[in-house]
Amino acid sequence: MAERSAPVIVAARRTPIGTRGRALAALRVEHLAAPVIRSALTDAARATGGRIEVADVVLGNCMGPGGNPARVAALAAGLGAHVPGATVDRQCGSGLAAIIDAATAIRAGDERARVAGGVESASTAPVRSLDGVAYDRAAFAPDGWPDPGMTEAAEGLAQHDGIPRSRQDAHAARSHARARAALVAGRFAEEIVPLAGMTADDAIGGAERLLPRLPALFAGGSLTAGTATRIGDGAAAVVLVPGAQGGGAGVGGRTHGGGRPVGLAVRAHAVVGCDPALPGIGAAPAVLAALGRAGLRTSDVAAFEIVEAFAAQSLAVLDRLGIVDDDARVCADGGALALGHPWGASGAVGVVRLFSRLVRSGAPAGTIGVAAASVGGGLGVAAVLEVVR
């Protein structure tokens, strides 16, 4: 059972994910984040029967524009000048790390509600330069350490682990098939806040039929454009409240279960480091560390959401966790290979997906979900979440 002091996610929303340069391309980070913040707060007030007093807004973001996007988004959402904001950068794990940071603040004793999540506008990210020369990304590691880009690292991981192209293609196809089935069944509808005319993620099915014919990205390699996720624009936000309160400082009014709100309790979490040469494996030790802190094993988990930046990366993580490729618990409605990858938001999208898969679907109290991401530079981020009712 989740401890009564564990912070609880009582609402979770996201935008549709738009491929970079498409429907959401004109929207800055605050334009993406503000609508999901407002929608999540409306849901939270409805769920708890009271007004939500927001202590802080914590958002993950990787590529700018800087200027503390979380604070800008909080103001754009209409929360008022008194609500601060903090922006977290753990690269592809930023959105999940932001949720962990917000949960940690509540657990530490500031029992006021928080909004947390992530946002990325790859389409409007500024061009960075050094001495007048533009560069694609900042270093993930200092001089003297391996510092591959994530695509190169995924190719290296495929070779290191001996993951053939056929297995990667099958994984990507499965992600698209699951996402398409979820879309048809309406399983994304309650979590998505329509934006710029979009009501669904635009990458679903886009590469599925082309997978066998796509050329390798590197000579002699196995990665293709179809087994690498599409870079996306999007945002996701959740509302966290204290796990045991009866009209306290964070939220007033009705709760359930003798003062406990209904949602996902943040039971345990972990951030770990790993070899910068193989950053794609980082989610595996993070998941094991988080589960260990919760006194659980992978067999106790009903639902996993692990950011699918690359098929090879996802498969390498599953292998290290002892989970088979087609396990129905893992990204059951498709992952980032099908939905898209808005870097700083993707970890939070995983939490929104777990909220839909477990809370909105009516999973019983005590059901366990895990969200995780591997991170450039050799990091892993993971959280163990438990349904409370």
Residue with tokens 């190719």: 155
Q: Which of the residues 31, 176, 269, 341 is marked catalytic?
A: 341
| 274 and 145 Cβ atoms separated by less than 8 Å | no
Q: Which of the residues 92, 171, 176, 331 is marked catalytic?
A: 92
Tokens of 371: 């969200």
Active site residue 341: yes
d(CA 184, CA 190): 13
d(CA 130, CA 263): 46
Q: Quick one: the chain helix, strand, coil %, rounded to 5?
A: 35, 25, 45
| 178 and 334 Cβ atoms separated by less than 8 Å | yes
Active site residue 92: yes
SS (H, E, C) 126-170: CCEEECCEEECCCCCCCCCCCCCCHHHHHHHHHHHHCCCHHHHHH
Handedness of CA 208, 92, 382, 361 (dihedral sign): negative
Instruction: Indicate which residues carry an active-site annotation.
Output: 92, 341
